[in-house]
Structure 1
């Protein structure tokens, strides 16, 4: 039994207007007129919050998005820059968004209206990460023999098919510019499972900021009834 449920995604940016427009075009999402710094789709789980932060991007993103596209040129016209093109050894292109954040483009004959294909997370131990997150949000752990990466699929509420954990040699050094939120009935259960509480809910934020076993930030939203019954949760 899982401890929580996937809620939505958040992207830290320097220029919300530019990045909201860019990611909206790429993913097939729209920004409401009354809140131009959030992208929404036909399900709440497709929501992506575009958060302004003062710090610039300084290192390769440890969390990135993979997107469906009919042509890499379409991504370039939307404002992306190609860092590594499709080749015989690599069937996807590595690109950068207008602020330099990496993402990958996968060319498809038929492109869905919602074009977020998967969430990819750099990991020191991909199998351990995949299994830990399966325990938190559910889903099945997938692995192809002889390949170094692991993934989650069939995660309840997940609005894209795969959540992938890729092996990398470098350790995490800075706060991720892309993170995810979950809803959970019990914060203590998430912490007991191995999460670290980085910042509890306070007068400025209505959620709890946590980190997974490899330090990836995520936010936990508790039901209102739970929060009201325990003001220190």
Structure 2
């Protein structure tokens, strides 16, 4: 049975503020389809192991919404949202100016990204393709996320806290082979 991916569940100290930021950044329809927010009493303390990659014409509108620049790279910028959650913005001159961003990928950190990509590809019926380093760790056509690339990003840092951003699937909650938690039923959406 192929699992179908649903929205990302984002743990948030202020779900209303997070919903307002991401709705303004992605537009109402895209934000509702991709993200849902649930209350979390503890603030974010470590780098997220799951984040979005966005296409943008310019980062200025995101900064005006409350994002801040964490680091600049050759070809992209790492930003933080209003609660410090990292995301990457890639310039695309063809991107529409409104809303200011379009999600094109979900990224998941892993010390062994090829293994995790292969496991999830079997679960969600996706094609595994090579990332820029030539290793098979990017998923295309995942059920529910057909328009998104699911990138498994090689990192060496050890997981020290549960993921604040988790994906949902249409059948059963659980933990994957690398201890990433996922929810079986999306919680009620909060619109802020």
Q: TM-score range by the shorter chain?
A: 0.7 to 0.9
- Structure 2: segments with no counterpart, 5+ residues: 186-192
Of 177, 186, 190 in structure 2, the residue corresponding to residue 213 of structure 1 is 177
Give me the TM-score of the superposition, normalised by structure 1. 0.72
Give yes or no for the alignment of 1:137 onto 2:121.
no
Q: Residue 173 of structure 2 aligns to a residue in which SS?
A: strand
- Counterpart Cα distance in 2 of 1:145 and 1:74: 29
Give the Cα separation in 2 of the matches to 1:149 and 1:72: 30
Higher RCO structure (Cα 8 Å, ≥6 apart):
2
The answer as to whether partners of 1:148 and 1:167 remain within 8 angstroms in 2 is no
1:25-64 → structure 2 map (5 Å cutoff):
25-29=24-28, 39-40=31-32, 46-64=33-51
RMSD: 2.2
Corresponding residue number in structure 1 for 2:19: 20
**Per-residue CA shift, 1:175-228, capped at 9, x if unaligned?**
1111111113xxxxxxxxxxxxxxxxxxxxxxx53111111110124xxxxxxx
- d(CA) in 1 for partners of 2:132 and 2:85? 30
| Greater than 2 Å deviation, 4+ residue runs | 144-149
Q: Deviations over 1:127-184 (max 9, x none)?
A: 0010000111111001147445721001222153200001111121211111111113
Larger radius of gyration: 1
Distance 1:119-1:144 versus aligned 2 partners, 3 A rule = closer
Which stretches in structure 1 are left out of the alignment for 5+ residues? 32-38, 41-45, 185-207, 222-233
Superposition pairs of residues 1-233 of structure 1, within 5 angstroms: 2-29=1-28, 39-40=31-32, 46-86=33-73, 90-111=74-95, 115-144=102-131, 146-147=133-134, 150-158=137-145, 160-184=147-171, 208-221=172-185
| Matches of 1:134 and 1:100, distance apart in 2 | 30
> Does the Cα contact within 8 Å between 1:121 and 1:166 map onto a contact in 2?
yes
Structure-2-length-normalised TM-score: 0.87
